[in-house]
Amino acid sequence: MPHPPMSSPRNRGKDSRAAWIVFAVGIFAYFSAVAQRTSFGVASVEAADRFQTVAAGLSMFSMMQVLVYAALQVPVGVLVDRFGPRVLISAGAVCMVLGQLQLAAAESVTAGVIGRILVGAGDAATFVCVMRLLPAWFSAMRVPMLSQVVGMTGNLGQLFSVIPFAALLHAAGWVPAFITLASLALLSGVLSAALLRSAPPGVNVLNDSISFATVGATIKESLREPGTQLGFWVHFAVQFVGNTFALMWAYPYLQNAQGLDATQASSVMTAFVLVNVGVSLGVGKLSAVFARHRSALALSFCAVIYGGWALMLLWPGEAPTAVVFIAVGMLALSYPASMLAFDIVRSFNPPRRGGTATGLANVGGFIASLAAIYLTGLVLDLQFAAGVSPTLYDAEAFRPAIAAQGLVAAVGIIAVLVCTRKVRKVHGPQSI
């Protein structure tokens, strides 16, 4: 089938200079959101001292952040289909500003958790909205690659938290470091409010018919689509590994279980981010070329990602530094590979419910992350309380604590296999 002419309403303004400006602002907003999201993982050791809490209490910060993020994905998806990305991204930036200022001033666990809840709410309003911009502003062949650029830029946001934020935290202290992050969120909010638009002039991609009466029907339509279900479970199975590592347990694990100092741990996390960035475009290319084999691609990436944890957990004693770098590099595939979920969702849902379906799929990885973060903290605390571990973050205690995440992985893999069969039954054996 020939492509529509560039002058048609369907393609008006796509791939234009204005499109690239919108894209640049959108990915900066996501860069900022990921920097806010991952900042607490970098500061978790300092937070344990500041708030005088045990592992399960410390995990509450990230758990509540992830819980709020996951809970808001579907509402955000519905709202962006109705009101557009500019409103949602700008409002999200304001929430993150308030959240980081709250955390900067917090001196109790409750006050700190409130700050992370606000950060989670603001972060929730960013990714789905940026992804919603891509098909409106760019031609179909560009979208899979640009999706990976979005993810890659998010990884650079994590790099910001790993290097400049961590350095500022250690040099200037808790309050200045989190105020700086609040300033970054403020800048992204101002740029988004000023420059973002939902679609090129004269093109309407918003669903003006969405109301409280129709929201339920839109969600049900998206949920009934087997492609949305598969996207949810692919995101569940793939993304939680990197999320759990980066948001919560990376620094405690690397410093206590692998014996690295703060500088070495930062170097490992820098490598984690650089691998993300380095492979993102390659994953996007694979997704575009093997569009009918995305489920198999996702499962292949799962084998590599889970293998990274197996390598560290099965190594007797502390693994050599080179092995730690290799294993963490394998974990790092989690983020770019998780973007396959959104390519799957986009293939089986019409644009009018694109935000809603993307939001539903995005919930998957964060529900899995919530479970994995909690399980890890719970197993650490149980071992310490029972006297099995001499210290809370004992090196050997991390082996069963991290291994408990295998329960989450098993659920995800089984569900991906089941949903792949459902998609092929409805859309044909060559559909995925």
Whole-angstrom Cα distance, residue 5 to residue 22? 23
What are the two backbone dihedrals, phi and then psi, of residue 428, each rounded to the nearest 5 degrees?
A: 110, 150
What is residue 76's predicted lDDT score, i.e. its pLDDT? Answer: 85
**CB-facing half-sphere around the CA of 339: CA atoms within 13 A:** 31
What is residue 280's predicted lDDT score, i.e. its pLDDT? Answer: 82
Q: What is the pLDDT along the chain (432 residues), one digit of tens a residue?
A: 444 444 445 566 787 899 999 999 999 999 999 999 888 878 877 887 888 776 667 777 877 887 888 888 888 888 888 888 999 999 999 999 999 999 999 988 889 889 999 999 999 999 889 988 988 889 877 887 888 888 888 878 888 887 899 889 989 999 999 999 999 999 999 999 999 988 888 777 776 666 666 777 778 888 899 999 999 999 999 999 998 998 778 888 999 999 998 889 889 988 998 898 888 888 888 888 888 899 999 999 999 999 999 999 999 999 999 999 999 999 999 988 998 998 899 888 887 777 788 888 988 998 899 899 889 988 998 998 888 888 878 889 999 999 999 999 999 999 999 999 999 998 888 878
The model's pLDDT over 81-133, given as tens digits with 9 standing for 90+, comes to 888 899 999 999 999 999 999 999 998 888 988 999 999 999 999 988 998 89
| Contact of 382 with 364, CB cutoff 8 Å | no
**CB-facing half-sphere around the CA of 174: CA atoms within 13 A:** 18
The one-letter amino acid code at 384 reads F
Crossing angle, helix 17-42 and helix 55-83, to 10 degrees?
160
What are the two backbone dihedrals, phi and then psi, of residue 98, each rounded to the nearest 5 degrees?
A: -65, -40
